[in-house]
């Protein structure tokens, strides 16, 4: 775990390097096998996908450097509970890198999602758009803009986020689901109305039960229309980083 890092770094100044595979300690590997067997017994379609693990990071001026390795979803499931650190003090977590996109529309709105009640994490909570970065098959650079742009297109059908205007605004560690999260402001060329009209065709539209449109001022205001809603940790952190970025 680390302290929140607030910054304003253009996406082309993010250097993410993938090297090798992360291995769990033997006793934790045994926990992973049994935990994943239990998951598959309840959800036979569960997929143990490959994820990008953030091993370390460094911020120097307007540049963010991330060292990464490969891990998998089952390793994350086995190591993501808060008690893991006390149960296995000598072991490292899977720590997949989460990505949260604050999609800013051409008419100055923000796309907010309400998570499905069937979601594994934060069912029914207000969220934005995001997922976990995925590693390539070969070691080397990983383009995190492409990773988060893919999530945006899959979840709400928006394929026109602007690379030249996209900015990373913060990095934090989720203390509940135990992984690092990078937050990015992603301007789109589409209006809010255009996005709502086209979102139903998105491949992963069922990730959210509802799409909402908030003004930037609504997002920045702690007492805005979301005041009494169930807020995910990611939404709260995104709001905090956007507040700092907007000063």
The model carries a pTM of 0.95
Q: Could you give the CA distance from residue 95 to residue 23 in angstroms, rounded to a whole number?
A: 12
Q: In this predicted structure, what is the pLDDT of residue 247?
A: 83
pLDDT on residue 227: 83
Q: What is the pLDDT of residue 81?
A: 94
Average pLDDT by consecutive 10-residue portion of the chain (247 residues)? 94 98 96 96 94 97 96 97 94 98 97 80 86 94 97 95 97 97 98 94 87 93 87 95 93
Q: Is 38 helix (H, G, I), strand (E, B) or coil?
A: helix
Judge whether 152 and 247 are in contact, CB under 8 Å: no
- The strand pair at 63-72 and 14-21 is best described as parallel
Alpha helix segments (H runs only) across the chain: 26-42, 73-79, 84-87, 144-156, 192-198, 216-220, 233-245
Among the listed residues 99, 112, 127, 100, the one whose alpha carbon sits nearest the alpha carbon of residue 192 = 112
What's the confidence (pLDDT) of residue 161?
97
Specify the residue for token string 């992984």. Answer: 179
Among residues 202, 241, 2, the alpha carbon closest in space to that of 113 is found at 202
Rounded to the nearest integer, the mean pLDDT of the chain is 94
**pLDDT score, position 46:** 92
Token reading at 38: 């239990």
- Torsion angle of C-alpha atoms 206, 210, 216, 217, degrees rounded to 10: -150
Q: Which domains does the chain have, with CATH numbers?
A: 5-245 (3.90.79.10)
pLDDT tens profile 123-180: 778 999 999 999 988 999 999 999 999 999 999 999 999 999 999 999 999 999 999 9
**Residue 152: CB partners within 8 Å, gap ≥ 6?**
101, 103, 129, 158, 159, 161, 186
């Amino acid at each position: 775990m680390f302290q929140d890092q607030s910054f304003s770094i253009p996406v082309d100044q993010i250097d993410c390097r993938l090297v090798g595979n992360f291995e769990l300690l033997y006793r934790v590997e045994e926990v992973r096998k049994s935990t994943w067997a239990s998951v598959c017994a309840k959800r036979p379609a569960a997929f143990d996908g490959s994820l990008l693990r953030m091993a370390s990071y460094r911020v120097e001026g307007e540049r963010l450097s991330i060292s990464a390795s490969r891990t998998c979803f089952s390793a994350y499931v086995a190591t993501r509970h808060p008690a893991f650190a006390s149960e296995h003090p000598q072991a490292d977590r899977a720590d997949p890198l989460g990505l949260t996109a604050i999609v800013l529309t051409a008419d100055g709105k923000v796309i907010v999602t309400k998570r499905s009640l069937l979601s594994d994490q934060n069912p029914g909570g207000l969220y934005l758009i995001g997922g976990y970065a995925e590693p390539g098959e070969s070691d080397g650079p990983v383009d995190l803009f492409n990773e988060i742009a893919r999530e945006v297109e899959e979840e709400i059908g928006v394929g026109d986020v602007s690379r030249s205007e996209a900015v990373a605004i913060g990095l934090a560690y989720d203390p509940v689901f135990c992984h690092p999260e990078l937050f990015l402001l992603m301007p789109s060329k589409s209006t809010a109305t255009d996005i709502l009209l086209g979102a139903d065709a998105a491949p992963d539209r069922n990730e959210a039960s509802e799409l909402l449109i908030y003004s930037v001022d609504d997002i920045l205001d702690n007492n805005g229309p979301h005041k009494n809603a169930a807020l995910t940790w990611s939404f709260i952190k995104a709001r905090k980083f956007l507040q700092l970025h907007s000063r």
